[in-house]
Every structure is written in C-alpha cells, then in structure tokens.
Chains A and B, each alone.
Chain A
Amino acid sequence: MSAALQLTGLDKHFGALHVTRGVDLTLEAGARHALIGPNGAGKTTLVNLVTGMLTPDAGKVSLNGRDITGLGQAERVRAGIARTFQINQLFRGLSALENVVLALSEREGIARQIWQPAGTNSAILDEAMAILSSLGVGADAGKTISGLPYGRQRLIEIAITLALKPRVLLLDEPAAGVPSVESDVILDVIAGLPSDIAILIIEHDMDVVFRFASRISVLVDGGVLTEGTPDEIARDPEVRAVYLGEESHG
C-alpha cells in the first residue's frame, strides 16, 4: 500500500535563499504527524509546496502513490489535499454556513451550475449543518464570520476543510492567535478528527505537538533535521540544542 502523502527530495529556492532542502516526508493513511521547527525554518513554504501554491524546483509530491507535482492548487484539492491557514482565510462577509456550503459545492462539482438556484440543494445545506454541528459551532451557522470570535473562526477554517473530505489535511498552526480559553476547544476538535484522514500539523506549541502527534519531523533551515516518535524527539540532544534550546532562550 502506498503512503497517503509522500514528499521526495523537495527543493525550493527564493532567489539566493535556499528555503527547502531536499525534504523527504511520508504520511501513512490516518497519520498524526507534526512538523516543528524554529521560525523561518521553512514550514509554511513546505505546506505551500504540498498544496501547490508554490512549485518546487526539484522533487516530487505523491498522493496515494500518484504523482501530483504537476497539478495546480485547485486540482490538488480535488485530488484530496486540504489545508487550513495560519491566518484565517474565510469569506468574512458570508455566514458560517455559507462558508461551508461553498466548499461542499466545489467538492460535489455543482459550483459550475449557473441556472439552478443554490438554495434548492437541500443535501448540501444539511451536510453543511451537520459538519458545523459536529464541531460544536452549529449555533453559529447563521452568523456572519466577521462577527464571530477568532476561536470560532478557527473552527470554521477546519469545518471548510472537512467539507472537502480530504485524505490529507494540513493544519498550519491551528491554534495560532487564539486565546488559551478557546484553544482547548480547538485542540479537542483536532483530536477528534476522522481517523482515516492523514494529518500534518505545523505547530509551535510543544504541548499541542506532544498531545496530538504520533510522529514528529523537525525542520531546520529548510531541511529535515530528524524524525521520530515524540519520545525520541524529546530526548534527541540535537533537537534540544537547535530547537528546544532556542525556545527556552527566547
């Protein structure tokens, strides 16, 4: 069986800056994998390479054994890769419900329909409500995003990605910018995500990482320093020096 997501020798330069150096990374189906590393290690760049926002200079991205390196962003989403953003990317003027409905319409391929009124598709509306309720934000469905607290907006980000029924989900610092009172709710939601989705979480907060991940990759200066279980990573002297050490200084 092939891995859900496999990165082989991914390389990316921004001019003279070598931001991604020969990254190999494998996510099995249902994986709970964390990507950690100091600021500027190239974590978000790696996410952008996987989602197709950026094209790698060299290397390969495979989804379920299929080479998707040549596919654009939208095509990769349809192939099964979804992401959340470090900073919310939502339809701020629309209701939470419609945010999810738009994603569902794309997944179902009905967003091209130009004549049938959108509101007549009950199945989509019901599924959107079900997703929001499953994340505990059903009561916010009718509210406009811009009026929701930031923590709830983070949950809507996740709801949108779930609507896409991804096989691989990339969570870019899902609890970033959320007050600690609300972040527990988000972490509970993440812990409860469907087990068949392979998840790569990019995170700064070590508590989140060790609570959630069964494998951890450490990214330093664009390359993978090491990979292992949370225990192995916690004991690794190199990681402590390069990353955890830095953290305690800063």
Chain B
Amino acid sequence: MNATVKTDPTAELRNRHRWRPVEALPWLTAFAAFALLPDYAALGTQIIIMIIFALSMDLILGYAGVVSLGHAAYFGAGAYATGMLSALLGWNEPLTGLLAGGLAGGALGLLSGLVLLRYHGLTLLMLTLAFAILLQEAANTAAPVTGGFDGLQGISIDPIFGLFENDLWGHHYYWYSLSILFLVFLVARRIVHSPFGRSLVGVRENVRRMNAIGTPVFGRLVAVYTISAAMAGIAGGLFAQSNAYVTLDVLDFARSGTVLIVLVLGGTGRLYGAFLGGAVYMVLEDELARISPEFWEIGVGLVLIAVVLFFRGGLLGASDALMRLIRGRSPR
C-alpha cells in the first residue's frame, strides 16, 4: 500500500481512554453549584445519587445494550442492606455501610443475572420488571426486618471518618456523595475503556458476530450486570444514609423507569449522559414541582418527548450537533 496515510487510524483507539479538558466540567460544576447555591446541597446530594444510579444503568444499557425495567431492585437491595445494617444490627459506620450496600446489590445482580440474562428483548424486559416487583412484594411481606409498608426506621449513621456528621444543611453529605460518585465514575470509566468494556460494545452492536469471534457472551453480560448492580447498590446505600430512612419506594417500578428516563435524556453509552440527565431531570422535577405540585410530571414528559424526537443521543447528542455546527462554520 503506497497510499499516504495522513492521519493514523489507530490514534483514535490509542487515545480514547485519555482524559480530555472538557471532562473537568461536571466536577467544576459541582464545586460551583455548592459555592453559589449552598442551600441546595441536599438536592445536590439527591442529584449525585441519581447520577451514580444512572451510571450503573449506562454500563448495562448504554454499553452492553441490555434493557432493564427493574434496576431499582439493586438500588433497593443496597438501600435496605445499608439501612438494616444500622437499624437492626447497630452497625453505623458509613463507609462499610455503603460497602454492604454495594455487596448486596452486586450479589443480587449476580444471582438474578445468571437467570435473567439467558433471555433477550421483550422477554428480558418483562422478567426484569417482574423480578423487581417480586422483590418489592417480598420486602413488603418481610415487615419484621424491613419495616414493610411503614418503612425502615431507626437508621443512625456515624459521622464520616468520625468527623463529619450529616448536618442540617446537608453540606457534609454533599461532599461525601460527590467523593463516592467520583470513585464510582473512575471505576466505570476504567471499565468502559478496557478490552472488556469494548467487548460489551461489541455485544451491543452484534451478538451473532461476538459469538462468531469466540466471545463467551453470557459470561461477559453476567460480569457487567453484577458490576452494574453493585454500583446501583452503592447508590441505594447512599440514599439510605442521606435520608436515614428507607421505604418500599426504593424498589418501586417508578424508580426503575426514572433511571431509564434520566439516561435517555442525558444520552446513553457515554457515561456523561448520566451526569447531564441526572442533573437536568432532578432540577426540572424540583422546579416544576414548585410551580405545579400536581402536574410537574407533564413538564418532565414534554421535555423528554422533545429530546427524544429532536435529538437522537439525548442532550449530549444535541450538544455534539451544536459543536459540529459551530466548528463547521469556523474556517479550518
């Protein structure tokens, strides 16, 4: 081949995992938001929890192409594990409590994944939905340990590192949650850029071809499903700690649906969609609920319809299109 290669086609793959300056943006935003709106730290914490949850969803949906309507099962498992550890056993140390949430989510993900991931498409969708509903019903029935319909009470979390209590303004928990998000994000980012992560994209793009190149597809899916469920469990644990209260809501279908909406809104398969989608959804919900406590969901619905209709790839897809437009106009 004597064709002169101007750009090295391997460069894109070689550099994909490198950090870009723009990746500082979500973190700078988190700092700025705290500096400008310290009164909203509690909302910020809930946004961060939603982002962690959506990140976990992105691993299976955005990368491996596994659609689930029951991801709240793992969020809820984490929330109950962390909460029950404190409420029933009196184990109140926050970091190990969170770890327990992650382990509970991960263990449940592994066990359920071994069954669920044998199915695809609509069947899988229905089974994930049914699984989460069953789990919620089980939690309802197991009232002596879960508190059932009344919720799990008596959670008390020690100060973080023995120093930082969950203060009235939620400032400490904002930074605590942000730190956890950062760690979870680092892990997720590492995974999606690894050969394992790329093989998940292969599964999403074409399962038949993956089988034909010798990939143990089922094993890969179970692995990522377990990791994703563990992350959802951590989000749930954080939720239990920040609210010091767990109800059956954590396992609700609405939560499974919301995390899907958040991800589609932000953009799937790129991690940062979880950040943008989580922030926009939660702020929108907060603002609209203030304007109209009864009809705020209509507003969220309209925004979602607009985004899905006009921007494939969610809000991040829209920002890509905008960037291309700006670059296209400027002389090279």
Instruction: Decide: B209 and A91 in contact? CB cutoff 8 A.
Output: yes
Number of interface residues of B (CB under 8 A): 36
Q: List 17 A-B contacts (CB under 8 A).
A: A51-B212, A74-B215, A91-B209, A93-B205, A94-B201, A97-B9, A106-B213, A111-B195, A111-B215, A114-B190, A122-B14, A125-B10, A128-B10, A138-B1, A142-B12, A163-B213, A164-B213
B215 touches A106 (CB 8 A): yes
Contacting residues, chain A, for B16 (C-beta < 8 A): 117-119
Where the two chains meet, the residues of A that have a C-beta atom closer than 8 Å to any C-beta of B are 51, 53, 73-75, 77-78, 82-83, 85, 89-95, 97-98, 101-103, 105-107, 110-122, 125-126, 128-129, 133, 136, 138-139, 141-142, 160, 163-164
Query: Is B197 within 8 A of A114, CB to CB?
Result: yes
> Closest chain B residue to A134 by CB distance?
B1
In angstroms, how far is the closest chain B Cβ from the Cβ of A123? 11
Residue of A nearest to B211 (CB): A73
Report the minimal beta-carbon distance from B51 to chain A, rounded to whole angstroms.
22
- The interface residues of chain A lying within 8 Å CB-to-CB of B190 are 114-115, 117
- Given the complex of chains A and B, what is the CA–CA distance between A122 and B5 in angstroms? 18
Q: Which residues of chain B are near A83, meaning CB under 8 Å?
A: 212
Most A CB within 10 A of own CB, among B7, B14, B193, B206: B206
Give the interface centre of B15, B198, B211, B214 by most chain A CB atoms within 10 Å. B214
Contact status B212-A113, CB under 8 Å = no
A105 engages B198 (CB within 8 Å): yes
The complex places the Cα of A160 from the Cα of B17 at a distance, in Å, of 24
Interface contact B195-A118, CB-CB below 8 Å: yes
Chain B residues contacting A110 (CB-CB under 8 Å) are 195
Contact of B193 among A85, A94, A118 (CB under 8 A): A118
A141 B213 Cβ-Cβ under 8 A: no
Does B212 contact A85, Cβ atoms closer than 8 Å? yes
Q: Which of B201-223 contact A (CB under 8 A)?
A: 201-202, 205-206, 208-217, 223
- Chain B residues near A116: list those with CB within 8 A: 194-195
If the complex has contacts A97-B9, A103-B213, A133-B1, are A85 and B208 also in contact, measured as CB distance less than 8 A?
yes
Say if the beta carbon of B136 comes within 8 Å of chain A.
no
Given contacts A77-B212, A117-B194, contact A92 B17 (CB under 8 A): no
Known interface pairs A51-B212, A77-B214, A90-B209. Does A141 touch B193 (Cβ–Cβ under 8 Å)? no
Q: How far is the CB of A128 from chain B (nearest CB, A)?
A: 8
Known: A77-B213, A94-B205, A138-B1. A114 touches B15 (CB 8 A): no
Main secondary structure of the interface of B (DSSP, over half): helix
Contact with A along B41-65 (1 / 0, CB 8 A): 0000000000000000000000000
Would A114 and B13 count as touching, CB distance under 8 A?
Answer: no
Contacts of A160 in B (CB 8 A): 209, 213
B40 at the interface (CB under 8 A from A): no
- The answer for the CA separation of A105 and B196 in the assembled complex, in Å, is 9
Could you say which residues of chain B place their CB within 8 Å of the CB of A117?
Answer: 16-17, 190, 193-194
Query: Residues 307-327 of chain B: 1 if any A CB is under 8 Å from the residue's CB, otherwise 0?
Result: 000000000000000000000
A85-B208, A102-B213 as given contacts; A119 in contact with B202, CB under 8 Å: no
Minimal beta-carbon separation of A60 from chain B (angstroms):
21
Find the residue from A74, A98, A119, A125 having the highest chain B CB count within 10 A.
Answer: A119
Does B3 count as interface, using CB distance less than 8 angstroms?
A: yes
Known A-B contacts A90-B206, A93-B205; A118 and B214 likewise in contact (beta carbons under 8 Å): no
- Assembled-state Cα–Cα distance A128/B14 (Å): 13
Contact flag A91-B194 (CB < 8 Å), given A74-B215, A141-B9: no
A113–B195 CB distance below 8 A: yes
Contacts A101-B13, A116-B194, A118-B193 supplied; 18 other A-B pairs, CB < 8 Å: A73-B211, A85-B212, A89-B208, A91-B206, A91-B209, A94-B202, A95-B12, A97-B9, A113-B195, A114-B191, A118-B197, A119-B13, A119-B15, A119-B16, A121-B195, A139-B1, A141-B10, A142-B9
The answer to whether B198 touches A98, judged by C-beta atoms less than 8 angstroms apart, is yes
B86 contacts the other chain (CB 8 A): no
B198 contacts A89, C-beta separation under 8 Å: no
Smallest beta-carbon distance B65→chain A, Å: 11
A-B pairs, 4 with minimum CB distance:
A77-B214, A142-B9, A117-B17, A141-B9
**Bound Cα distance from A150 to B277, whole angstroms:** 37
Chain A residues, Cβ within 8 Å of B12? 95, 142
